[in-house]
Amino acid sequence: MNLSSPLTPMRVLIVDDSVFMRAALTRMISSDDSLCIVGTAETGLEALAKIAALQPDVVTLDIDMPGLDGLETLKRIMSESPLPVIVVSALARCGAEDALQALALGAFDCIAKQLSYDHADVLKVQDELIAKIKAAAAHSPQRTRLSSRPDCPCLGHSPADAATVPATVPAIAPKIVAIGTSTGGPKALQDVLSALPADLPAAIVVVQHMPVGFIGPFAKRLNDLCPLKVREAQENELLRTGHVYLAPAGTHLIVQRQSSSDVFLRLSLLPANLPHIPSVDVLMSSVAEVFGSSSIGIILTGMGDDGALGMKAIFDAGGVTIGQDQATSVVYGMPRACAEIGVLNQVAPLPDIPRQILAALHHRTRAAAAP
C-alpha cells in the first residue's frame, strides 16, 4: 500500500497522564474517519516505547506529566525519532513559557486544553485539533517512508510557488511592515526579526495566531533575542519605527491615523464572526488604508487563508508584498492562498526575507529622496 495515499489513515498517538483527557482526545480525533488512533501513553517513557513500536504519523503530547515530563519527552523524540508533535496542554498547569519552549524544541504546534468545555468549545477545539493533526501528518516522515508499518489498530472511531513579479516602486519610503503567520510562525518570526537592525526605519505590526496568554511571554522572548524592541500591542499606543507590535490573542489589531505624523494602534473585538481573532486580514487592510504604497506586507508559514485579503489590499494600494516559499514553510497554507490569487510581488525562502525587507526599505527610501 502507498503510505502517502490520502486513503491511508493518519496514525495518531495520544500522550497524556490524565485518563479523562486521553478519553476526550480519543473521542475528538476519532470523529474524523481519516485519522486513526494507534495507541495512548500515560508517561513519557511509555510514549517513547510506543513511538518505536507503533510508528505514528503524529503525536499529541501533554507537558505536565510525572517522571519524564513533556519537554524532556519532546527532546528525546526529536533526537531519537523525529516526527510532528502537537502539544495539547493546559496553560494554567504548564504555562505559556513551557509551551513556547516546546515550540522552540521543534513541536509542530500547540493547543490549549481545559478540563471542561461547553458544546461549542468542544467543537471548536475538536476542529482545531483535527486540522492541525492533518497538517502535521503531511510533514511526517512516516507517511513518506516506503517501509512497512504495523497495521492500524484504531482504538476509536501544491501548486508551484508563484513566480516573482517585479514590484512597481512608488516614490514614498515605506513606514510600516505588516506580518501575518500561524503554524510555524514563532520560529519564523524569530528568524526574521533577529536579522533586522535596531534602527529599522519602519514599524512592524504582527499577527501570530496563538492561544490566549501566549503573546505576552512570546513578545518578551523575541525582545530578548532581537535588536528591535518587541512588545505586545496596547490600545492607543503610538506607532514608532524600530519597534515591533504583536496583536494580543483574542483581539484584532488595527492602525489608525490621527494626524499627518501620528499613527496609533487600536484594539477591537469587531468583527467578531471571523475564524481568527486577531485576523491578519483585518490588520493588513487597515495598514493598506492608512499607509497605502508606503507599506510592506509579509505572509509567512501558516494554516488556512487568513491574510490573503489583507495582502491583496496592500498589493492593490501599491505596497510591496512578499510571501514565504513552500520549501521553507512549515505549512504552506497562508502563503499559498496569496500566491494563488496573484498578490505577491516576491516569493522568497525564509532566510532571505529579512534581506528582502531591507532592500525594499532602502530602494524606496532612495526613490523618495531622488529629485
**Lowest mean pLDDT: which of 266-270, 296-300, 367-371?**
367-371
What's the whole-number mean pLDDT along residues 30-50?
A: 96
Same fold, 10-144 and 176-369: yes
Look up the pTM and report it: 0.85
Within 8 A by CB and 6+ apart from 125, the residues are 28, 111, 113, 117
pLDDT band at 146 (very low <50, low <70, confident <90, very high): very low
Cβ atoms of 134 and 108 within 8 Å: the answer is: no
Instruction: Give the pairing of strands 320-324 and 58-61.
Output: unpaired
* Rounded mean pLDDT, 221-232: 97
Residue 179 CA neighbour count, 13 Å, CB half: 26
CA gap 96, 182 in Å, rounded: 16
Mean pLDDT, residues 356-369: 73
Q: Give the Cα-Cα-Cα angle 250, 251, 252 (nearest 5 degrees).
A: 130
What CA–CA distance (Å, rounded) separates 319 from 331?
A: 25
What's the confidence (pLDDT) of residue 197? 97
Give the residue numbers annotated as catalytic, written as ranges: 182, 209, 306
- What is the rounded average pLDDT of the residues 229-257? 97
pLDDT of amino acid 174: 57
Helix 185-193 to helix 353-369 angle (10° resolution) is 50
Which stretches of 226-370 are DSSP H helices?
280-291, 308-316, 334-340, 353-369
CA dist., res. 297 & res. 315, Å (int): 8
3 state SS for 165-212:
CCCCCCCCCCCEEEEEECCCHHHHHHHHHCCCCCCCCCEEEEEECCCC
Determine the pLDDT at residue 94.
Answer: 60
Tell me yes or no: is domain 10-144 CATH 3.90.1150.10.
Answer: no
> Could you state, in order of their start, the residue ranges of all structural domains in the chain?
10-144, 176-369
Q: Which residues pair with 59 in a beta bridge?
A: 13, 85
176-369 is a CATH 3.40.50.180 domain: yes
pLDDT band at 71 (very low <50, low <70, confident <90, very high): very high
pLDDT at 169: 37
